[in-house]
């Protein structure tokens, strides 16, 4: 079984969250896409991949509750 933690709003950046994740010997961090430190313009996918390799932890994504997954807008669909 793998255990993880959510992104904590009390921390100012992803590095602080990674530090706690490692200290607690957890396996992953859930990136909350409602938080400014997890937005794609703040934390690009290449940086997530780099951090995953560097620290040996995984990341999951918690999408905003208000997101319309049936939207035809290209940035939302990911196409």
What is the per-residue pLDDT across 10-43, written as a single tens digit (0 to 9) for each? 999 999 999 999 999 999 999 998 899 998 889 9
Predicted pLDDT at 64: 76
Using the Cα atoms of residue 62, residue 65, residue 66 and residue 67 in order, give the sign of their dihedral.
positive
Q: Spell out the domain ranges in the chain.
A: 4-63
Pairwise CA distance, residues 34 & 11, whole Å: 14
Instruction: Say how many residues make up the chain.
Output: 79
The contacts of residue 37 (CB under 8 Å, 6+ apart) are 7, 11, 12, 13, 14, 43
């Amino acid at each position: 079984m793998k255990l993880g933690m959510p992104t904590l709003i009390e921390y100012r950046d992803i590095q602080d969250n990674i530090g706690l994740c490692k200290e607690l010997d957890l396996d992953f961090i859930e990136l909350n896409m409602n938080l400014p430190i997890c937005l794609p313009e703040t934390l690009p996918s290449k940086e997530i991949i780099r951090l995953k390799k560097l620290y040996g932890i995984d990341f999951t994504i918690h999408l905003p509750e208000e997101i319309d997954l049936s939207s035809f807008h290209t940035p939302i669909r990911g196409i």
